A and B are shown apart, each in its own frame.
Chain A
Amino acid sequence: MKVFLLLGLCCSLAAFGDNDPKEILRKSREQAKIAGLETKTTLEIHDGKGSTRIRETTMAMRIFPDGTEKRVIIFLSPADVKGTGMLIVDNDKKEDDMWIYMPALRKSRKIVASEKSKSFMGSEFSNSDLSIGNLDEFTYQLEGSDKVGDENCWKIQVMPATPSIAADYGVAYKIMWISQKDYMPRKTQFFGPDGSVAKELTFSGIKLLDPKANKYYITHMEMKNLKNNRFSVMNMDQVSVNPQVKEEYFTLAFLEKQ
């Protein structure tokens, strides 16, 4: 789910303090924060041996005045899971709330999961991979400039502040490449406890959604698990900004109507 958090992760072009890594990431995060949007997404899960599962979903997201971010995701395909829906409430200060609706059971159920390193829809993406979480949970170090393709980037090492945070996020540390041009991420490497790269996330198809507010959106992400060669690709096929997404979308009743 937090993929979508990441979509709203990068933001803002404040001109000062460019070389403070925490500030760079704060700006990146603000810049990607969009008040409301609707998307149609395709998630491809590859097992690295030639087999692929494809999941099509539609998603609506809105940030409410109290800072709570709500998302509703409905499966469009495959046929046997069509109509399965999830309602996620991203609380700023406490753990997320999540409900799932399964049409075969005609029942909604709240799901309480304390782990942040859980897989997203059985893919290589996980909540923690896609989010830097609370900025204060990490320490940052600018490791200089580096190129990703033709793009000049800041290379920032992000370290969990405590071992328990590291365990919670399932990562020893990560290195992020943030574009010096648009403050949007281009690549993230996730390091395992043994110091080797466990996963690599690449971003492309970065679009300027709202030139006035300077809001960006990432339409293509690819996560490679270097340990087992699995990889997952997420494509936002359709994106539309709508700060006034209907409030009723973010209710269990709406989920159960699908």
Chain B
Amino acid sequence: MSEFIYRFRWPIIIVSWLIAIGFAILIPSIEIDAEVEALVPHNMESKLNTDKIEDTFGGTDMVMILIQSDDVLKETTLYRLQKIESGFSRLPQVERVLSLFTMKDIRGTDGAMLVDPALPFIPVTQEERDSVRTMLSNNDMVMHVVVSDDFSLAALIGIIQKETDDRVLIDSVNQILARNPGPEEIILGGFPIVGQSITSNILKDVKLLLPLSILFILIILGLSFRDLKGVLLPLSVVLMSILVSLGLIPLFGWKFALVSVLLPVMMVAIGNNYGIYLVNRYHEILKRGPAVDKRSLLKELSAALTKPILLCALTTIAGVLALLTHIIVPARQVGILASIGIGWALILSLFYIPAFLAVLPKSKIRTKGNRPHITPFEHFLFRTGFLVTRKPKTILMIAGLLTAIIGIGMIRLTVEGNTIKFFDKKDPVRITSNLIDRNFGGSQTLSIQFQGDIKDPDLLKRMDQYENILKNQKGVGQVMSLASVMRLMSKTLLDPSDPGYNNIPDTREGVAQYLELYSMSGDPEDFEQLIDFNYENAQLLIRIDEASSKTILGLVRQIRELTREDPMVACIGGIGLISAEMTDSLVTGQWRSTFFAIVVVCLLVMWIFNTVKAGLLVLFPLGTACIVLFGIMGWLGIPFDPATTLITSVMIGCGVDYTVQYLWRQRSEMDSGLSRPRAIIKTLYTTGQAISFNAIAVMVGFTPLLFSAFRPIRFFGMMMVVSIFICLVGALVIVPAINLVWKPRFMEKRVIRDS
């Protein structure tokens, strides 16, 4: 192979770059998808149900324009709000607007049913303001819906058509706001706004994190090798594999999601591994014999490293491919893209780097006097090896104890799939969301769809019962259904002394007549959110004001329990449920992908070393790393989320490399006749150094994620650094210690073993 590389060194270099440029051309066509729905598979039950419900009752996505002032009933504030509302309601993407100007005041008084606009006029004097305030305070249809209880906030709630381009809509809203300036603060909320914030933060993240990651890697490579080749060759491999993996996104027809931010950084962190091994071995060969000719150098390099690097890459790819078992769609996509990227980095490392080394002049290796220079780090590794070989049992006991103590944290593990929680507590998105939750009943919804004869009073009474129970549950901001409309109608049509007052009618005719009257009292579309045209489907709509996944999941469990025996409940859906079900699947996905990654990687190692024992041996550091990782997450309160559930697969994929590299070299040293302790010490200060550089490079590569705008990405970066460090310690301390205590035969000199 080295001969082939030497002969075709220039074509290899040129073709490598041409392919990279080809993929780079595709990158500008990448689209970003920030919607929660994009995270879940299309066949997920909650997604199918939500689509079904939205087809019947229209979309529930909304954009909220909030106006904040000491009193929103001030004349100037209301005029400004009215002008904004006028522009907002004219936008083609807005199906209808709920506001002080569109809501009704339906009430019974003095023997008459009154149907008035909720805000009858814009008050000018303090007296008028007080009277309007009293009227509004008595109107359940507006309080906590379009105006806050303390009148410091008023909302324009725009129900958005399905398939709306959020960016176009938000630009139009901003233009309306710019045309209507004023002293009051304007706050935008709702899922399209959150989605847009995610999109812009994803872009910011990619623009910041990728260059930062490359810069960090440049520094670490420069410090490690102090040689331009050692810096530029692994770096160019990284760049080319990033271009290929990103270029594949539009080629596969996929979109860039929040977790996709991890992809380029993962490529920087992992893609340079093989280059580092090569450059390290290249330096090692030159240290031993600086006069070696390029052909022989390439031959030795190829012979010594092709197999271990190939195995390393295979184990990493296997680990990362375990993400295919994940339920989150972009996680699967990241798994595929990262695997292809890593595969490409491997091919480039095996062909492109040697080809370039054949083209460039040989590096000059620094030596101390006549002897090659021994670095302080090599000294440290030597001493580590010495310590490990002297006290292996003590080391294993301490490691076991620490793992147990940290592992206890696992019982504190939590899970979070709510996109709002991806933002910092002080982020405007989160502040706005809290404001909406506190004052307007929340922006996430759950829906129960009923199917059958909707005019059946028994059904409506059951709906009423569900509504009453759910209203008092933690996290529920508002509940709306046909039952509340029926109650409202009864209150407006009957006197408090009438038996049917504030009740559901007892007969089907009564229900039908209430419905007929309600349809005459408002806009025909007012109804569509709660009941379909043919009175065959009805919806009970729950708005969530504490949108944590735990609360929603608890609520969904309660709804299921409550409606278990109701034959007319067709399905439960809503964006809140999608988010909650995704959260649930995060945990399943986490365990499943971890299990698969460990099994596949162990099987690979068994195959590499041709023995089951090798697989069991790598199980120790990987298992330890997983327990410590989950324990730390539990202790620090870091939840499982769409990003952190990817850590174990990536960690297992990367971390197993170190053990494989270590075992490969130790066995080779023992093959050459060294005793087990000596082989361990030699492996540690030779390959141990490369493994350490590699791990440090990976850790440094992931460090920029700490600067991400998203908490899950920051947690991912933090925990990746921790877990790679655990894997490093596992490979360089625990594995040698186990080796000495267990003395597995497959590591012994093969000649002796075979005899």
Distance in angstroms from A103 CB to nearest chain B CB is 7
**Known A110-B112, A114-B117: A104·B509 in contact at CB below 8 Å:** yes
Partner-contacting stretch, out of A7-15, A117-125, A199-207 = A117-125
Distance in angstroms from A77 CB to nearest chain B CB is 11
The residues in B between 99 and 121 inclusive whose CB is less than 8 angstroms from any CB of A are 108, 111-117, 120
Contact A105 B524 (CB under 8 A): no
The residues in B between 473 and 517 inclusive whose CB is less than 8 angstroms from any CB of A are 493-494, 498, 500, 505, 507-514, 516-517
Docked CA distance A100–B112 (Å) = 10
CB neighbours (8 Å) of B114 from chain A are 111-113
Contact B90 A194 (CB under 8 A): yes
Q: Is B229 an interface residue (CB 8 A)?
A: no
Distance in angstroms from A63 CB to nearest chain B CB is 24
Distance in angstroms from A165 CB to nearest chain B CB is 15
Q: Is A107 an interface residue (CB 8 A)?
A: yes
| Closest B residue by C-beta to A119 | B524
CB neighbours (8 Å) of A194 from chain B are 90
Contact B524 A230 (CB under 8 A): yes
Docked CA distance A194–B517 (Å) = 31
Contact B510 A118 (CB under 8 A): no
Contact A122 B524 (CB under 8 A): yes
Docked CA distance A75–B116 (Å) = 25
Docked CA distance A53–B112 (Å) = 28
**Known A102-B493, A120-B520, A230-B524: A80·B113 in contact at CB below 8 Å:** no
Q: Is B667 an interface residue (CB 8 A)?
A: no
**Known A102-B513, A105-B510, A112-B115: A80·B524 in contact at CB below 8 Å:** no
Contact B533 A47 (CB under 8 A): yes
Q: Is B523 an interface residue (CB 8 A)?
A: yes
Docked CA distance A115–B534 (Å) = 27
Contact B493 A109 (CB under 8 A): yes
CB neighbours (8 Å) of A84 from chain B are 513, 516
Mark each residue of chain A from 32 to 70: 1 if its CB lies under 8 Å from any CB of chain B, else 0.
000000000000010101010100000000000000000
Contact A111 B516 (CB under 8 A): no
CB neighbours (8 Å) of A228 from chain B are 525
Docked CA distance A228–B526 (Å) = 13
Contact B115 A113 (CB under 8 A): yes
**Known A47-B533, A102-B513, A114-B116: A107·B494 in contact at CB below 8 Å:** yes
**Known A47-B533, A194-B90: A110·B517 in contact at CB below 8 Å:** no
CB neighbours (8 Å) of B711 from chain A are none
Mark each residue of chain A from 87 to 111: 1 if its CB lies under 8 Å from any CB of chain B, else 0.
0000000000000101111010111
Distance in angstroms from A252 CB to nearest chain B CB is 12
**Known A110-B113, A112-B112, A118-B520: A105·B493 in contact at CB below 8 Å:** yes
Contact B519 A121 (CB under 8 A): yes
Contact B509 A80 (CB under 8 A): yes
Distance in angstroms from B149 CB to nearest chain A CB is 26
| Closest B residue by C-beta to A100 | B517
Q: Is the interface of A mostly helix, strand, loop or mixed?
A: loop
Q: Is A193 an interface residue (CB 8 A)?
A: yes
| Closest B residue by C-beta to A225 | B524
Mark each residue of chain B from 434 to 476: 1 if its CB lies under 8 Å from any CB of chain A, else 0.
0000000000000000000001000000000000000000000
The residues in B between 514 and 571 inclusive whose CB is less than 8 angstroms from any CB of A are 514, 516-517, 519-525, 527, 533-534
Docked CA distance A123–B516 (Å) = 11
Q: Is B672 an interface residue (CB 8 A)?
A: no
Contact A51 B534 (CB under 8 A): yes
Docked CA distance A75–B516 (Å) = 11
Docked CA distance A70–B517 (Å) = 20
Set A45, A100, A104, A124: member contacting B510, Cβ < 8 A: A104
Q: Is B126 an interface residue (CB 8 A)?
A: no
**Known A109-B493, A114-B117, A193-B90: A81·B112 in contact at CB below 8 Å:** no
| Closest B residue by C-beta to A120 | B520
Q: Is A133 an interface residue (CB 8 A)?
A: no
Q: Is B610 an interface residue (CB 8 A)?
A: no
Contact B520 A122 (CB under 8 A): yes
Distance in angstroms from B686 CB to nearest chain A CB is 74
| Closest A residue by C-beta to B108 | A109
**Known A80-B509, A84-B513, A105-B513: A119·B115 in contact at CB below 8 Å:** no
Docked CA distance A118–B102 (Å) = 12
Distance in angstroms from A132 CB to nearest chain B CB is 22
Distance in angstroms from B137 CB to nearest chain A CB is 20
Q: Is B611 an interface residue (CB 8 A)?
A: no
Set B455, B512, B513, B519: member contacting A122, Cβ < 8 A: B519
**Known A109-B493, A118-B520, A230-B524: A80·B115 in contact at CB below 8 Å:** no
CB neighbours (8 Å) of A118 from chain B are 115, 520-523
Contact B507 A119 (CB under 8 A): no
Q: Is B86 an interface residue (CB 8 A)?
A: yes
Contact B513 A119 (CB under 8 A): no
| Closest B residue by C-beta to A113 | B115
Contact B117 A123 (CB under 8 A): no
The residues in A between 19 and 33 inclusive whose CB is less than 8 angstroms from any CB of B are none
CB neighbours (8 Å) of B507 from chain A are 104
Set B113, B120, B513: member contacting A81, Cβ < 8 A: B513
Docked CA distance A51–B83 (Å) = 37
CB neighbours (8 Å) of A115 from chain B are 115-117
CB neighbours (8 Å) of B533 from chain A are 47, 49, 51, 53
Set B500, B509, B527: member contacting A103, Cβ < 8 A: B509
Set A81, A114, A193: member contacting B516, Cβ < 8 A: A81
**Known A84-B513, A112-B112: A105·B117 in contact at CB below 8 Å:** no
Docked CA distance A45–B528 (Å) = 14
CB neighbours (8 Å) of A81 from chain B are 509, 512-513, 516
CB neighbours (8 Å) of A112 from chain B are 112-116
Contact B521 A113 (CB under 8 A): yes
CB neighbours (8 Å) of B111 from chain A are 109-110
Docked CA distance A78–B455 (Å) = 13
Of A100, A114, A122, A228, most buried by chain B (CB within 10 Å of CB) is: A122
CB neighbours (8 Å) of A110 from chain B are 111-113
CB neighbours (8 Å) of A119 from chain B are 519-520, 522-524
| Closest A residue by C-beta to B525 | A228
CB neighbours (8 Å) of A53 from chain B are 533-534
CB neighbours (8 Å) of B90 from chain A are 192-194
Docked CA distance A46–B525 (Å) = 13
CB neighbours (8 Å) of A230 from chain B are 524
Docked CA distance A193–B88 (Å) = 11
| Closest B residue by C-beta to A84 | B513
Distance in angstroms from B236 CB to nearest chain A CB is 55
CB neighbours (8 Å) of B512 from chain A are 78, 80-81, 104
The residues in B between 18 and 73 inclusive whose CB is less than 8 angstroms from any CB of A are none
Docked CA distance A230–B494 (Å) = 33
Distance in angstroms from B54 CB to nearest chain A CB is 14
CB neighbours (8 Å) of B498 from chain A are 107
Distance in angstroms from A20 CB to nearest chain B CB is 33
CB neighbours (8 Å) of B522 from chain A are 118-119
CB neighbours (8 Å) of A124 from chain B are 524
Interface residues of B (CB under 8 A from A): 86, 90, 108, 111-117, 120, 455, 493-494, 498, 500, 505, 507-514, 516-517, 519-525, 527, 533-534
Across chains A and B, which 8 residue pairs bring their CB atoms closest together, nearest first? Answer: A122-B519, A80-B512, A104-B510, A110-B112, A113-B115, A47-B533, A102-B513, A104-B509
A–B Cβ pairs within 8 angstroms, 13 of them: A45-B524, A80-B508, A80-B512, A102-B493, A102-B514, A105-B500, A111-B113, A111-B115, A115-B115, A115-B117, A119-B520, A122-B527, A192-B90
Apart from A78-B512, A103-B509, what are 14 other A-B pairs with CB-CB below 8 Å?
A: A53-B533, A84-B513, A104-B513, A105-B493, A105-B494, A109-B112, A112-B114, A112-B116, A115-B117, A118-B115, A122-B520, A122-B524, A123-B524, A193-B90
